[in-house]
């Protein structure tokens, strides 16, 4: 039995959907599946837009890259009982047109400035196919995952994300999700071979944690 035979999504996982975010254009989000591997590979090899705009996706993007990433996500989802990685689609069973994932910072990363209790902090990352940009898929997905999933379902106190300062479309997605830029820092991008400015965004469940800024 191969690894792919054993890594099957548990459809009873919480936060799986399908969720309808828009009727025009049609926009659903459902969990990323092993069956998405060929489309992930095709889309991420159209050009280097996703490669340059994200921290972890490879170019050229091989089947092994997509399989490793999706299998790890499915395994983690099944262990926790919660879906944390979704495909943007034009129908519930349609081809993937984008990707949005969430993870959580370790307990003890930050505490409430008044009560001292540990804060639950989520982090999102996303990309949209170059064939489907400028149609709101990223903004709608980010807004839904932040407010309906991470705040309401997963109990987050803060949700964070990072975009390069000159990546205006990505920053617009974060603004649409209710985030604001808290901190900017200079980083060296090995992919681009130069220094870039990371804009660190966040949205807080309530104003009592506004002083808990993104780490420098």
d(CA 88, CA 16): 12
d(CA 99, CA 112): 31
| Tokens 């209790």 sit on residue | 117
pLDDT string in tens for the chain (216-residue length): 233 434 555 666 899 999 999 999 999 999 999 999 999 999 999 999 999 887 688 999 999 999 999 999 999 999 999 999 999 999 999 999 999 999 999 999 999 999 999 999 999 999 999 999 999 999 999 999 999 999 999 999 999 999 999 999 999 999 999 999 999 999 998 888 999 999 999 999 999 999 999 876
What topology does CATH give the domain 13-209? Aminopeptidase (3.40.630)
Strand partners, 101: 85, 125
Q: Which helix (H) or strand (E) holds 99?
A: strand 96-104
Question: What's the whole-model pTM score?
Answer: 0.93
């Amino acid at each position: 039995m191969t690894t792919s035979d054993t890594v099957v999504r548990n459809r009873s996982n919480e936060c799986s959907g399908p969720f309808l975010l828009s009727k025009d254009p049609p926009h659903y989000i459902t969990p990323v599946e092993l069956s998405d591997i060929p489309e992930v590979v095709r889309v991420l090899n159209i050009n280097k837009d996703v490669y340059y705009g994200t921290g972890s996706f490879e170019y050229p993007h091989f089947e092994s890259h997509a399989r490793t990433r999706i299998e790890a996500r499915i395994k983690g989802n099944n262990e926790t009982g919660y879906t944390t990685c979704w495909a943007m689609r034009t129908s519930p069973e349609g081809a993937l047109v984008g990707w949005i994932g969430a993870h959580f910072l370790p307990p003890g990363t930050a505490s409430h400035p008044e009560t001292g209790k540990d804060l639950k902090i989520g982090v999102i990352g996303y990309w949209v196919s170059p064939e489907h940009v400028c149609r709101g898929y990223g903004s709608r997905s980010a807004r839904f995952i932040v407010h309906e999933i991470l705040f309401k379902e997963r109990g987050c106190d803060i949700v964070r994300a990072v975009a390069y300062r000159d990546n205006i479309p990505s920053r617009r997605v974060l603004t649409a999700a209710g985030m604001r830029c808290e901190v900017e820092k200079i980083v060296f991008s090995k992919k681009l071979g130069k220094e870039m400015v990371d804009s660190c965004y966040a949205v807080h469940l309530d104003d009592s944690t506004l002083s808990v800024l993104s780490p420098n």
